[in-house]
Structure 1
Amino acid sequence: MQSFPLQSVQLTEGVFKNAQDVDLKYILALNPDKLLAPYLIDASLPLKAERYGNWESSGLDGHIGGHYLSALAMMYASTKNTELKSRLDYMVSELARCQAKNGNGYVGGIPQGKVFWERIHKGDIDGSSFGLNNTWVPLYNIHKLFAGLRDAYQFTNNKQALQVLIGLGDWFTDLIKPLSEEQIQTMLRTEHGGMNEVFADLYEITKDKKYLQIAEKISHKAILNPLIQHQDKLTGLHANTQIPKVIGFEKVAQLNGNKDWSDAAVYFWNNLTQKRSVAFGGNSVREHFNPTNDFSKMLESNQGPETCNSYNMLRLSKALFFDKNDLQYLDFYEKTLYNHILSSQHPTKGGFVYFTPIRPSHYRVYSQPETSMWCCVGSGIENHTKYGELIYSHNQQDLFVNLFIPSVLNWAERDIKLTQKTQFPHSNRSELIVSLKQTKNFNIGIRFPKWANNVKIWVNGKNQAFTAKSSEYILINRKWKNGDKILVELPMQTHLEYLPDSSNWAAIMHGPIVLAAKTDTANLDGLFADDSRMGHEAKGKLYSLESAVALVADNRGYLEKIKPVNLQELKFSYSNLTLMPFFELHDARYQMYFQTMNSEEFKKNTENLKNYEKQILALEANTIDKINCGEQQPEVDHNYKGEKSDSGYEEGHFWRNTKSFISYQLTNKNLEGRNIEIAVLDKFKQDNLSFLVNDKPLEIVSNDNKIIKLKIPETENSTQNLVLKISANNGVYSPRIHQIRLTIKP
């Protein structure tokens, strides 16, 4: 089984073609010279434009530039738009100029990169989940450039991109040559994207075995070894840090034949898709893997699954499909493509979504080209360039239809053209038209989706009998002639998909499509993001879970309550709600998950939720700013600094402690904050801790050994930025701190 190049598949009118067109406008709205600025700064070359702000000038400088190369390459392959190719060639030539100026093969936009990498080369390594030598995920950052150069070569045959890539790969090889295995593994504790994958790709391109050896050497054993043993050690880990590593494990296994590594990737995929993913295919809460038996924090949070996770899960699913030829990978790919990836871009105004909350009556935020430089913007500009990558596949002789997306396939090597006409999922039919210059005998395989109960197929109007089952191909073998038509009918049923934790929360689905309801259009604060550090988070008012609509039926006949309104538009009704495909729902609060219960359970549950939510919402209303300690984004967003500090996940909480100091910057919005509350997991002696805000001592108002309440000095009440420093005294570790809040009232 092999993929077709993007150049062979052209999208035609439909939701995916629209998404591609909207993404193209966004890509062209970005300024290559601004994206190149961090690289020119590092190479001490004159700037042609000032760099972008937001994440591109606060520590992750240059990461969007790597993604941009990938997006240009894949969008050019998909559309043949010459402006894209011109921009790509220009960016590669500028990167080559930076590399030549540096003189050692290195090119990058990482702040103070030369100093940073020299420390690594000498073995001076202090790694944590997101900080390597107090630098924000530098390996993750440079991985984007590796991947962008690879894609520029593979999708557009840009030879200069390959030269720069090889130079960069050789520089990295020399960089880590003096390091011991232990030092390399310490370095890999910090998020590093798919560095092992790109070195495996370099080996595949050049056939130079040193690159495959590097790929094996920079594979993170702390993640790999438990997966090989089929041990689930994932809870509490930063989700998108792990998925690219596993893509690399699978890629290396394909090249060196290591079955254990490939089995590890399969185990990981099964774990995530069956135990950790929600109905739209996404996973994680506040960027981390939640316990498999408790999705309650995801239901409560405004930070639901991250789009980058699904971007990488599609890449892993695609790799495993071509390795294992198992259609279960396509079932997940399809579900995630329609419900998460397609929904993660605004369909008319453009802009990409970072978090997709499942909290009832919350909403999503969309990026803007001039203000938003998040990781999910980088992967977002790629997501909608490559919809043609898996609609079809082939072996030497036969052709397979995997997805039901309107498109035209040109299989030049076999002189076969296949046109797919469909309005799926708004129609349950797809028509395939074969175009040939001469008759040919081969199989056309039609995927039998997991969600379809009774697929029917006609060829030139004649019904076709078959024995294939769900998640298999229906093979049609004949001597095909020009103009032959295949009609595929894919009956879709409405069903409930429950959360994996066995709770009573369920999503309503029609076939593979998640249905959701618009609930409100008020309080959509920051719907289109500004350039603030946390602009990607929907910070508007949290609506009480008590007010969420539930599916109530005394006989458990929940589906009987869901009535079709317009099947061509996939609209249904329940209670006072209109359900529609989630990927079509934008600019509004929504409800995607519903509790299922009988009337007695509903009454009792409503009262319990009312009391619980009253406490939670009161706490949030009293909070000006908060930090979830030990979590990547909250700590980066609050300018974390520290020495002799550890972090982890225990007792259902992330935490951080220190034997020296840690500090964060809190934002005192509207200058209302008067107090700081610090939640800890351990008992401690008060003499062993000290607290400063803007270098002034904080008064300890109360301490019950779990919540420390501090009063901000009056001199700092008019200051918007409050730098909190927590110091450990007497050579004793601080307690494990899991949350810090800036509050109005004590």
Structure 2
Amino acid sequence: MAPPLSRRTLLQTAILATAGPGIAATASTATASAATLPAPAARRLRPFHLEDVTLDSGVFADKRRLMLDHARGYDVNRLLQVFRANAGLPAGGAVAPGGWEGLDGEANGNLRGHYTGHFLTMLSQAYASTGDPVYAEKIRTMVDALVEVREALRRDPAVLAAPGRFGGAVEQVRGSYQYVDLPAGVLSASPAITLAVWVRPTHAGTWARVLDFGDDTTRYMYLTARNADGVPRFALTTGGPGAEQGLDGTAPLPLDRWSHLAVTVADGTGTLYVDGTAVARNTAMTLTPASLGTPAHAWLGRSHFPADPVFAGALDGFDVWSRALSATEISRLQGSRAADTAAGPGDLASYAFDETEGAAFADASGRGLTATLRRTWGGPSHPGFLAAYPETQFIELESMTRGDYTRVWAPYYTAHKILRGLLDACLATDDDRALDLASGLCDWMHSRLSELPDATLQRMWGIFSSGEFGGIVEAIVDLHALTGKAEHLALARLFDLDRLIDACAANTDVLDGLHANQHIPIFTGYVRLYDATGEERYLTAAKNFWDMVVPHRMYGIGGTSTGEFWKARDVIAGTIGPATAETCCAYNLLKLSRTLFFHEPDPKYMDYYERALYNQVLGSKQDRPDAEKPLVTYFIGLTPGHVRDYTPKQGTTCCEGTGMESATKYQDSVYFAEADGSALYVNLYSPTTLTWAERGVTVTQTTDYPREQGTTLTVRGRTAAFALKLRVPSWATAGFRVTVNGRAVEGTPVPGGYLTVRRTWRSGDTVRVRVPFRLRVEKALDDPTLQTLFLGPVNLVARSSATDHLRFGLYRNAALSGDLLPTFTAVTGKPLHYTLDGTEFAPFFEGTEDPTHAYVRRAEPRVVFGGTDSGVANPAGPDGTTLLDEIWAGAPFASKGALVARVRTTVDAWVAAGLLGRADGDRIGAMAARASYVS
């Protein structure tokens, strides 16, 4: 009997089954579960699992090792704190990570929970790649906790008991949105009152209410542990904040220690006591609790002002008397419970908070005013709900007409990260609970979104930031491939942003002004929808969209966006700034390129993949260990002298999340296979070992690429006939050579294509690929004098603290091949490092904090060949192209004579056009003939 299929195998099989009958026939016994998916579409290629491709020693393995150490060392309970808090569960002392993943983060933590999803994906990839059980154990811890969180959210809130000042106490976890609801008649319209309570605050935030009795933000009475000045305050008003009659303390209450607060109001005088000592007195109080009548609400821990936080800490011994206790009576409350003093328990209300379960608190006043623990937002609308904040974020989005991330910050984006993380956890560990959580999350989303009119959905998804939903469509379609639930495929289609899909399907460029990372990942999802439905508009829109970004809005390193947004098409130099190339954008463009390549193996997608992976993505990870932080960039500024920030925006950002993922899946696109197993694509030259179980072979790449200009592939295992398709990079314009067992392969390599080697492979066959690098420049589309340098696939940056663009001439020693590298001097012992005019150039992928210049200003003031100066100024045409530019555009040259001929014909044309004098032209031609060149 065959062994059971893993979840990962089932998912890949299901995805393959959506790719057409010819593919489904090869997909083993699991295809039946996916056979009901509608309108299967053709996918020519399929990827390999991460565990099928071992990453061997090299620059990628070095970077990954740093991230794996971070994954190993970071306490995942910190990530889970915000989920547990939202569910009212104990956090075990764990402290939220902060930044965007915390209650004090940017926009008040309205994106919290997203980082947990990223971390789950990182751990899943780390486990798949290494097999190290430490990552599986961390996944298990996180899934355990999220199961418990969802169950807690499904139930009414329950008492979280804690040791009190004299007995028990009720703990209010920060971020729990829980409060104690007292019956409305607790004040009994009493003209005099004493309030007394023990508090142990755990957070220094202001305006969290110990109590708030009232109707709204106009009529209320409150006691807060910290006002705007950080000291206790009691206030009473029937006219809103401007009419408050109050009492303010003189010092902050200590955190994590019990303090006693008491207030008396009677006969026009109010007094505030802290730990039995009167700290404030107001003898002009004309309002009494009776002024409020019967308040609509009587809350402990909750404010009538929605922006105020819920009280975080513990409450013990809350009593209310219908008279003003004396100073002596209040002093005696410090030593024992009220019931054990002469004052006795409060006659209006008295709660000891000794309960250890349930949601009710007994009243010892004799009035039977049982209090109830509640959530400010009630509870989820569907049992599948799972989040680190209330469902109100999602509800409020449905009525928003414009974005405001301080109120609602991309809740479906956050849901996507959680969903993706759970799905990846399931695939990595075969944990059905993770699948159940993911399925339930989608069931909940469908229950909400399927009830909304299409116009509402279109408005929501078009709102900047608040309506951002990331790659949720891709994740939902992947889930549907496992569950087969019609509701899940229907849910994926509810995220259609028709305005953008239709424009891109018609090849109408509407990207100017759009938020880049809000839109890139949705097209990967639309390609997956094409897989599942066969609707061509999804695939056509995605292809056209990609072409609108690459190269028209792409920087040399493969990044895109400035300040997170796109500007006009073909404006590169005009958009360079300190906040260019958001790292998430590169991550998502790589995913889209990869997904499109499965359908149409156009080498342009893999050319882009190499560019972005070997430069921006590698360079976004700092080259030093840190268990606390992933050390990944957010923006990569391309301004002169930019220093990369590897701990951006207080941490736990979207880009750090995708950066963690990128660094644990470097090998995911090195190899692809034809769906029928007839060919193996080698897309990237990277030290890896592929286990191709279907064909019974392994393919090992031995190389130090990109420090080595080529690679060696060794095939071992069964004898197998298949085509080996070797990518010829578009920049490899000369010298690309392939041998098999020492014999040259027939065929002409075409830059920007694949060289195919067809044979029956036998164990031990060796393929040697030679990929000579040359130094070349790429010009900014809108300013040809602003250029970035590449040596083969590697972007070279100048290291300098100068804040103006550095100016360099590069033609002075150019080789006959057109290679500009002879103008530079290699740095001994430092591969891929060079100097020019005293400035060091280094690979962009090195994650240092050196100030860098990704773009330099090209300055070729005089005509120089082979290091010999003609003494003639280098003229420029109307479009900025210089004489030297036009001459060297003819490279490579087969011989010195070919170069000299090019010089003379170009000079003659410029003389005829009046751009160059004849005498100067003759001098240039004569000097070119005398000069010496490297080949």
TM exceeding 0.5: yes
Q: Could you tell me how far 1:208 is from its partner in structure 2?
A: 2.1
Whether the 8 Å contact between 1:130 and 1:191 is mirrored in structure 2 is no
> CA offsets, 1:250-306, max 9 Å, x none?
11112211112211111111111110001110011111112224334533x211211
- Pick from 781, 802, 807: which aligns with 1:549? 807
Q: Distance in 2 between matches of 1:414 and 1:561?
A: 45
Q: Distance in 2 between matches of 1:191 and 1:267?
A: 21
Letter in 2 for 1:441: A
Letter in 1 for 2:393: F
Whether the 8 Å contact between 2:622 and 2:847 is mirrored in structure 1 is no
Q: Distance in 2 between matches of 1:83 and 1:129?
A: 41
Aligned counterpart, 1:624? none
- Pick from 71, 75, 78: which aligns with 1:31? 75
Aligned counterpart, 2:47? 3
Q: Could you tell me how far 1:17 is from its partner in structure 2?
A: 0.6
Which residues of 2 match residues 23-422 of structure 1 at below 5 A? 23-48=67-92, 49-57=94-102, 58=105, 59=109, 60-103=111-154, 104-111=382-389, 113-119=390-396, 124-129=398-403, 131=405, 134-188=407-461, 189=463, 190-299=467-576, 301-349=577-625, 351-367=631-647, 372-395=651-674, 396-422=677-703
- Alpha carbons of structure 1 residues 95 and 467: separation in structure 2 relative to 1, 3 Å: same
Q: Could you tell me how far 1:562 is from its partner in structure 2?
A: 3.1
Letter in 2 for 1:357: G
Whether the 8 Å contact between 2:123 and 2:136 is mirrored in structure 1 is yes
Which residues of 2 match residues 569-580 of structure 1 at below 5 A? 569-580=831-842
Q: Could you tell me how far 1:474 is from its partner in structure 2?
A: 1.8
Q: Could you tell me how far 1:398 is from its partner in structure 2?
A: 2.7
Whether the 8 Å contact between 1:38 and 1:108 is mirrored in structure 2 is no
Q: Distance in 1 between matches of 2:875 and 2:65?
A: 49
Q: Distance in 1 between matches of 2:90 and 2:435?
A: 25
Q: Could you tell me how far 1:116 is from its partner in structure 2?
A: 3.3
- Alpha carbons of structure 1 residues 470 and 552: separation in structure 2 relative to 1, 3 Å: closer
Q: Could you tell me how far 1:325 is from its partner in structure 2?
A: 1.8
Whether the 8 Å contact between 1:199 and 1:211 is mirrored in structure 2 is yes
Residues 1:17 and 2:298 are matched in the alignment? no
Whether the 8 Å contact between 2:573 and 2:786 is mirrored in structure 1 is no
> CA offsets, 1:465-521, max 9 Å, x none?
12452233222222222211111101112111112324421101111210112113x
Letter in 2 for 1:412: A
Q: Could you tell me how far 1:554 is from its partner in structure 2?
A: 9.8
Q: Distance in 1 between matches of 2:429 and 2:875?
A: 61
Q: Distance in 1 between matches of 2:550 and 2:456?
A: 33
Q: Distance in 1 between matches of 2:646 and 2:699?
A: 36
Q: Could you tell me how far 1:447 is from its partner in structure 2?
A: 1.4
Whether the 8 Å contact between 2:812 and 2:823 is mirrored in structure 1 is no
TM-score, scaled to structure 2: 0.59
Aligned counterpart, 2:316? none
Which residues of 2 match residues 438-453 of structure 1 at below 5 A? 438-453=718-733
Residues 1:424 and 2:705 are matched in the alignment? yes
Aligned partner of residue 193 in structure 1, secondary structure: coil
- Alpha carbons of structure 1 residues 482 and 359: separation in structure 2 relative to 1, 3 Å: same
Aligned counterpart, 1:663? none
Letter in 2 for 1:70: T
Q: Could you tell me how far 1:593 is from its partner in structure 2?
A: 0.5
- Alpha carbons of structure 1 residues 600 and 426: separation in structure 2 relative to 1, 3 Å: closer
Aligned partner of residue 667 in structure 2, secondary structure: helix
- Alpha carbons of structure 1 residues 243 and 109: separation in structure 2 relative to 1, 3 Å: same
Letter in 1 for 2:75: N
Q: Distance in 1 between matches of 2:482 and 2:61?
A: 31
Q: Distance in 1 between matches of 2:670 and 2:687?
A: 9
- Alpha carbons of structure 1 residues 165 and 9: separation in structure 2 relative to 1, 3 Å: same
> CA offsets, 1:640-662, max 9 Å, x none?
xxxxxxxxxxxxxxxxxxxxxxx
Q: Distance in 2 between matches of 1:380 and 1:440?
A: 38
Q: Could you tell me how far 1:349 is from its partner in structure 2?
A: 3.2
Residues 1:510 and 2:791 are matched in the alignment? yes
- Alpha carbons of structure 1 residues 560 and 171: separation in structure 2 relative to 1, 3 Å: closer
Q: Could you tell me how far 1:604 is from its partner in structure 2?
A: 14
Q: Could you tell me how far 1:25 is from its partner in structure 2?
A: 1.1
Q: Could you tell me how far 1:564 is from its partner in structure 2?
A: 4.4
Q: Distance in 1 between matches of 2:798 and 2:847?
A: 8
Q: Could you tell me how far 1:553 is from its partner in structure 2?
A: 6.7
Residues 1:563 and 2:824 are matched in the alignment? yes
Aligned partner of residue 234 in structure 1, secondary structure: coil
Aligned partner of residue 56 in structure 1, secondary structure: coil
Letter in 2 for 1:276: R
Whether the 8 Å contact between 1:515 and 1:579 is mirrored in structure 2 is yes
Choose between structure 1 and 2: higher helix proportion.
1
Q: Distance in 1 between matches of 2:532 and 2:725?
A: 28
Count of paired positions: 574
Aligned partner of residue 845 in structure 2, secondary structure: helix
Letter in 2 for 1:380: G
Letter in 2 for 1:147: R
> CA offsets, 1:306-357, max 9 Å, x none?
1100000010011001111222111100110000111110123351111111
Letter in 2 for 1:90: T
Whether the 8 Å contact between 1:3 and 1:394 is mirrored in structure 2 is yes
Whether the 8 Å contact between 1:344 and 1:353 is mirrored in structure 2 is yes
Structure 2: where are the runs of 5+ without partners? 1-44, 155-381, 864-872, 877-935
Q: Could you tell me how far 1:155 is from its partner in structure 2?
A: 3.3
- Alpha carbons of structure 1 residues 585 and 600: separation in structure 2 relative to 1, 3 Å: farther
Whether the 8 Å contact between 1:554 and 1:597 is mirrored in structure 2 is no
Letter in 2 for 1:23: M
Q: Which has the larger radius of gyration?
A: 2
Aligned partner of residue 170 in structure 1, secondary structure: helix
Aligned partner of residue 849 in structure 2, secondary structure: coil
- Alpha carbons of structure 1 residues 515 and 552: separation in structure 2 relative to 1, 3 Å: closer
- Alpha carbons of structure 1 residues 321 and 177: separation in structure 2 relative to 1, 3 Å: same
Letter in 2 for 1:268: F
- Alpha carbons of structure 1 residues 560 and 208: separation in structure 2 relative to 1, 3 Å: closer
Q: Distance in 2 between matches of 1:251 and 1:462?
A: 42
Letter in 2 for 1:473: Y
Letter in 2 for 1:431: T
Q: Distance in 1 between matches of 2:500 and 2:452?
A: 20
Q: Could you tell me how far 1:378 is from its partner in structure 2?
A: 0.7
Aligned partner of residue 694 in structure 2, secondary structure: helix
Aligned counterpart, 1:708? none
Q: Could you tell me how far 1:152 is from its partner in structure 2?
A: 1.4
Whether the 8 Å contact between 2:712 and 2:769 is mirrored in structure 1 is yes
Whether the 8 Å contact between 1:73 and 1:155 is mirrored in structure 2 is yes
Aligned partner of residue 274 in structure 1, secondary structure: coil
